[in-house]
Amino acid sequence: MAEAPVFPLWTDAYLADTGHLSTIEHGAYLLLLVTMWRAGGSLPNDDKLLARYARLTPAQWKRIKPTLWRYFQVSSDGITQGRLTDELNAVRRKSKTQSNNARSKYRKNNESRSAMGEPKASQNLPSISISRSNTSSLRSEDAAGVPDPKEILFGEVLDWLAETQQKPPDQLRSLIGRWLKLCGDDAAALVELCRRTRQQARASPVDYITASLRPKRSPTERNLEDLGIRLDA
């Protein structure tokens, strides 16, 4: 997943700056901007790679490079684009602010639970086997005061995701909803999977959990999916 998957394009400014470009030049420029955005704000100053990013042959890239080069800041290490850099820095600042707010809320919730004598979030995620047969035992524990697994998912797990993904919790509720559908609404099993993922400190917890919940695909099905063909569509 890209650092910031949404690429802002200010159409008035773009058209004002690029009105003289040909269709091929427009396409190459936009492809370079999107690739640069996904790469974190810069691309290597390498004609072979830039031609590939722009979906051009080396000869085509050589012809249009002088026209596009005026839009970039060029050094021996790489190329950047001024407006793109400003926008990416703004997104990073906003993301950092949201992350700090999520952490503050997470700490405040934990402090509130501790002050009332309730267990902390790390203690609230019970050790539950992925086996669906354990659902009945979980219900019996609910009667003894253990939170309902869906309350855990939309409480502690949601706060954890907000912190790791640097997004507001409200933007992640639909993600948990999709996970519940993938696991047949077995909230207890999903809680356990999230607990293990957090304990293992996975680099991409959302991708790992999603992949763990998806049905296993045969090589033929994977090949078809690579071609954009979904058997279950």
Q: Are residues 175 and 151 in the same domain?
A: yes
Contacts for 229 with CB less than 8 Å, ≥ 6 apart:
none
Which of the listed ranges 60-74, 87-101, 117-131, 182-196 does the model predict with the highest average pLDDT? 60-74
Kindly state the DSSP code that residue 181 receives in the 8-state scheme.
H
Q: How many CB atoms lie within 10 A of CB 198?
A: 19
Number of domains in the chain: 2
Q: Are residues 1 and 105 in the same domain?
A: yes
CA distance 96 to 87: 14
Predicted local distance difference test score (pLDDT) of residue 76: 83
Q: Are residues 10 and 47 in the same domain?
A: yes
Q: What is the CATH number of the domain that holds 14?
A: 1.10.10
Q: Are residues 46 and 133 in the same domain?
A: no
Considering 67, 99, 117, which residue would you say is the last residue of a domain? 117
Query: Where residue 137 falls among pLDDT bands split at 50, 70, 90?
Result: very low
For residue 59, the enclosing domain spans: 1-117
Phi, psi of 8 (to 5 degrees): -75, 135
Burial class (CB in 10 A: 0-12, 13-18, 19+), 193: buried
Residue range 3-21, pLDDT digits in tens: 667 888 888 889 999 999 9
Q: Are residues 6 and 75 in the same domain?
A: yes
CA distance 181 to 192: 16
